[in-house]
Amino acid sequence: MIRATTLALAASGLALLSSAGHSRDAEPSDALAALRARPPEQDVIYFVLPDRFENGDPANDRGGYAGDRLATGFDPADKGFYHGGDLAGLTSRLDYIQGLGATAIWVGPVFRNKPVQGASGQESAGYHGYWITDFTTVDPHLGTEAEFAAFVNAAHARGMKVYMDIIINHTADVITYADGDESGYAYRSKAAYPFSTRGAARGTPINPGFAGDHDRAPANWAKLTDPGFAYAPRVPESERAAKTPKWLNDPIYYHNRGDTDWTGESAQYGDFIGLDDLATEHPRVVEGMIEIYGAWIERYGIDGFRIDTARHVNAEFWQAFVPAMEERARQAGIPNFHIFGEVATERYDPALLASWTHAAQFPAVLDFGLMYAVIHALSAGGGQAELARMPMDDTLYAGGASAANRLPTFLGNHDAGRIAMLLEKANPGISREELLARVKLAHALLLSLRGVPTIYAGDEQGFVGTGGDKEARQDMFASQVTAFNTQDLLGSDATSAEANFDTTHPLYRVISQLAQLRARTPALQSGATRLRAASETAPGLFALSRFDPRDSHEIVMVFNTSGQALEAMVAVDPNSVQFREVAGHGCATKSIAAGSLPITLAPFGFALCEALR
C-alpha cells in the first residue's frame, strides 16, 4: 500500500522533473519558483537516514544481491545492517515531515555503497551511506534513480527543498596494504615517508621531479606515478573495478598512509578506520569530484549539499569545489543553492568553525557550537555563558553575524547521539518528566535562535538511545532490533517495535508549532540578535531579542533553564510597549515602564513575546 501511495504522491511533481532528473526546459511551477527564491535561513531542515525511516518497497531490501547477510547487507535485527527503509518509503511520508514544519529535507547519502565490510566477526553494512563505491547512481537497497527523481519531484511540489549528503574525503574500503599488518596500519607521516622514496625516507628513490602536493600544477602531479611512498597499496583482484567512475580504481589518487589518529597531519591524510582516503590535492580528484556532483545538480535539480567530513579535506580543494557547485546550480536555475560542511568539534569552538568559512570559503558549516551551548545550559548546574557569547562570536564567520543566520543548527545527530540521551547523561538521576521538559526547552531554543534549525528524524518521537553512531540510528518504522525495542521512548508509551509517526506526540506538536511560527516570522529567520539577560554560571534566566528586518520591531525571547519558577524584569526597547505572546507562557502584555518587561516562567518554561507595531 505504501508503494502505491508513493507513486501517487510523486505524480504531482513529474511535471517539474523528468523521470531521469531535472527538466530545465519545463516552466517551473509556482511551488518550485517560490522554493528557488527562498534563502536558506527561512528553512527548517529535517535530517533522515533513508534506511531507518520507512520501508516503501520490500523487494529492494537486499539490494538485488543474493546470499546471506554478509553478501546482501540486510539484517533488520542487527543495528549495524540494512533494515529496509528506502526512497519510496521516504516519499510516502512527506505529509508527516511537512506537518512537522520542515521545509527542507537533508537526506543521508543515497549513492551505491559497498554492502558489507569489516574484519571477520566485526562486519557491518553500508546502511548509512558513507561507504561509497559508485558515486554516480543510487544504492539499490534504497531504490532506483527514478525513485530518487520521484522523491525530489514530490518534495518540490510541496515547496520543500532537498539537500543531498555527499562525501569527498573517502570511498569504501577497497585498497589494502601489502605491509603494515604488524602495526595495525598506523599512520605514516610525510616527513618519515616522503613522496620521493619507497617505504621510508632512506628508501629507494621514486617519483623523480615531484615537487610535493602543495604544487597543484597538473604537470607536477604527472610526475607522481608510484603510490608506494608510505605503504604498498594493493587492490584485491575481485575489486579491481569496484568503483565508479573508473578513475577511482587507481591507488595513485589516494593518500595510502594508513589509519588516521585524528590529530595533526593524519586528520587530513589518514584513512578513516580503513576507508580509502582520497588525495584531494590531486587536480584529477578535484576535476573528477566537480564533475560527479555537478551532474547530480543538473540531473535532479536538488537544492544543496551537506558535506561529510569536510575538515578532513584540504582547504584548497573546497576553494575550487564550492564555487564550481554554486555556478553549476546557478546554470540549473537554483540561485540559493545551500552548501554546508561538517566541521566536527567536541566542544563549543566557534573560532574553529568560523575558520573554515574563511580558509576553505564554505558558505556555511554545521553549527556544533550551538549544540554544545544548549547542552551545557541544560546540564545539571550548567550556565549560559556560551549561549550568551554567541551574538559576539557570530562576527567571526565570513560575512559576520548575518552569515551565521545560514548555519544549520542542531541538538544532536546520528554520530554524536540524540539530544534526549545527551541531556539524560548530563543530568544523572533525572526523571522522565523533567527530561521531557528539558528536551522541549532545547527545541524551543533551537527553533528561536539564529541559524537554520535541523531536526534529526526520531527526536520528535521521543527517541533517546544509549549513545552515538549505531546507538542513535533507530528505525521510525517497526523495528526488529531488540536493543532498540527494549528502550523507553520519551513522552510516549509506544516502543520502537511499532511504527512511530505520531503527529500527536508532545515533541512533534511543540516542534511543529514553533517551526510554523518561525516560517511566518521574519525576526526568527534573519533578525539581528541582542542579548538581554543570562545566568552565566548557574541555571536561570536567559533572554534575548530578535528584530524584524523589515521594521525593526522586536520579539523578546525568554527561557528558564532552572527547575524553579522565576519572575524577572527583562530589558526591551523603550519603544516596545504593548506585547502579545506568540509561543510559550509567561509574557506580560505591557511593559511596566519604558524599557522594562515583566515575565513569569515555569520551571524549564519559555515564552516568545512580540512587540506590537
Which residues, 6 or more positions from 544, have their beta carbon under 8 angstroms from its beta carbon? 391, 529, 530, 531, 532, 556, 557
| Angular region, 185: left φ>0, alpha ψ -120 to 50, beta rest | left
Beta bridge partners of 560: 541
Q: Which grid cell is 307?
A: 558535506
> Shortest CA distance to 81 belongs to which of 40, 48, 124, 117?
124
ω before 245 within 30° of 0 (cis)? yes
Instruction: List the Cα angle 594/598/601 in 5-degree steps.
Output: 155
Query: Of these residues, 43, 308, 367, 459, which one is catalytic?
Result: 308
Q: What beta strand segments (E) does 275-384 contain?
A: 304-307, 338-341, 364-365
Q: How far apart are CA 607 and CA 544, in angstroms?
A: 11
DSSP helix/strand/coil, 603 = coil
> What is the separation of C-alpha 346 from the centre of its chain, rounded to a whole number of angstroms?
16
In the block, cell 625516507 appears at: 201
Instruction: Determine the Cα–Cα distance for residues 318 and 310; give it in Å rounded to an integer.
Output: 9
Q: Are the CB atoms for 358 and 317 separated by under 8 Å?
A: no
How far apart, in Å, do the first and last CA atoms of the chain sit?
Answer: 50
The answer to whether residue 342 is catalytic is yes
- 442 Cβ partners below 8 Å, 6+ apart? 374, 375, 378, 411, 419, 423
Which residues does 392 contact at the CB level (< 8 Å), separation at least 6? none
Q: Which of 342, 394, 475, 548 is catalytic?
A: 342
Q: Are 100 and 460 in contact (CB under 8 A)?
A: yes
Q: Are 199 and 228 in contact (CB under 8 A)?
A: yes
Q: Indicate if 536 belongs to the active site.
A: no
With cell 533494515, the residue in question is 83
Catalytic residue list: 308, 342
